[in-house]
Amino acid sequence: MRAAIRGTLLDPDAAARIRVPGAKQAGVLVPLYVDADATLHAVFTRRHDDLRRHPGEISFPGGRRDPGDADLRATALRETHEEIGLPADAVDVVGALQPTPTFVTNYAIYPFVGLIEPGFAWAVAHAEVAQVLELPLDAVRAGYARRRMVRRGMPFRTDTYVVGEDVIWGATARIVADLLDRVPTAGA
């Protein structure tokens, strides 16, 4: 599985050189693991409902690049450790996905894909993260739909992925779409 995933992803250094619209740069980690049933999972976070930016939204762990970060991959790993307790040395960064701009907050998001071991005991930064979600990628894929949503009173149609009560949309949905285009499906 590791080789199959690695072969479909962008080189992390090359991906970090791709320029997309966004005045601010952010790095996120797309943590993946294979469980005992050989099911590929992705790890997401649900943000607290009372946050000023992206309240209640589902996202990958990560955030804005700090001046002390060596590069965007370091940003993704640092932010992931801060948000959910996953240390950088527990992540095998196997590649990257296409950088994704945000339209409202003016970020250029650089996603890095990392393989982790299943069963990690999350240490959640409760000031920002309400919950860690471990979702089977086949369930995410099956939950795709174009939906009508309302944000700040404005209705719009957008790509979404729904697993149970969890709705992934926006920049995270665009990152998920790229991931699903690249990773093997069940039984592949």
CATH code of the domain covering residue 91: 3.90.79.10
Q: Please name the helix (run of DSSP H) or strand (run of DSSP E) that holds residue 64, with its range, or none.
A: strand 62-64
Instruction: Report pTM.
Output: 0.93
Query: Is 180 within the bounds of a domain?
Result: no
Query: Is 59 within the bounds of a domain?
Result: yes
Closest CA to 29 of 122, 95, 128: 95
How far is 172 from 89, CA to CA, in rounded Å? 24
- Provide the 10 A C-beta neighbour count for residue 118: 11
User: What pLDDT is attached to residue 101?
Assistant: 94
How far is 140 from 159, CA to CA, in rounded Å? 12
Q: For residue 85, what are the domain limits?
A: 2-136
User: What pLDDT is attached to residue 131?
Assistant: 94
Looking at the structure of the chain, the number of domains it has is: 1
Span 72-108, pLDDT tens digits: 999 999 999 999 999 999 999 999 999 999 987 899 9
